[in-house]
Structures are given as structure tokens and as C-alpha cells.
Amino acid sequence: MTHLALILETCLKRTNSFVRFLLVGIINTGIGLSAIFILMNTFHVSYWFSTFIGNGAGAVISFLLNRAFTFKSDVSIKKGGLLFVSVILSCYFASYSTSSWVSERIHITPVSQQDLAVFLGSCIYTITNYIGQKYIVFKEFSK
């Protein structure tokens, strides 16, 4: 390993799980949002289908990285996967329903209502998803 990799690994071991969760989130959010906006704006796919597919892609990456890196969990992929899917679906529907409702009532000229809903939904989703992952999915199995 290079010196930079060792320094980064040492530094990240000292961070709390929320910081590691946010780092993993940067990766899966980048992938998820890219998929959402490509589907919505290039292929004119509906808001719900686009956000579902984009978040699904990010979720697979999120589960694997959060299990190994964020929470250092020994939960089985089968059991953890079922809990994970339950948590992300709950967070998804609550977050994007709320953000869609809010964005319909806020009119910001340079931003479309759907784009605003996606960004707001992502923020709500991140917070609720962290709470669910930490206290439901990986709670009993963290090292």
C-alpha cells in the first residue's frame, strides 16, 4: 500500500460511522443520481421509475460498502439484505413522497419541480436511511 492509502485508512478507522456512511453515500449517491437524471432527462422516464431505478443501483453498492466499511458488520447477506431492502424501501417511499409533495408547493424558477424533489428527497433519504441502517440492519452484527 502507498503512504497515502495507509494514511487514509488510518484516518477513516478513527471516524465515526456517520462520516463513513457519508463517504459511502457520496459514491452511491453519485451513481444513483446520475442514473435518475439520465433516465428522467435523456430518456424521459417517469419520476417514480427513475428514482426507483437510480436508488436501487445505489442501494446495492450501499449495502456492500456499508456492511464491510461503515458498520463492519458480520450480518449475513441473506438476513442483512432482507432488512436492508425493507429499510431502503420505507425510506424511499417516505422521502420521495414527502419531497414530491413539498416541491409541488415551492416554485423556484431556474429549477424544475422534479429536480427539486429529487434533491430534497435525497437529503431526507440519506438521514432516514442512516438511522435505519445503523439501528435496524447492522445493529446486532457490528464488530
pLDDT tens for each residue of 29-82: 899 999 999 999 999 999 889 988 998 898 888 898 999 888 889 999 899 999
CA 135 to chain centre: 16
Q: pLDDT of 86-104, one tens digit each?
A: 998 999 899 989 998 988 8
Measured distance CA(132)–CA(141) in Å, rounded: 14
69 burial class (0-12, 13-18, 19+ CB within 10 angstroms)? middle
- pTM of the model as a whole: 0.68
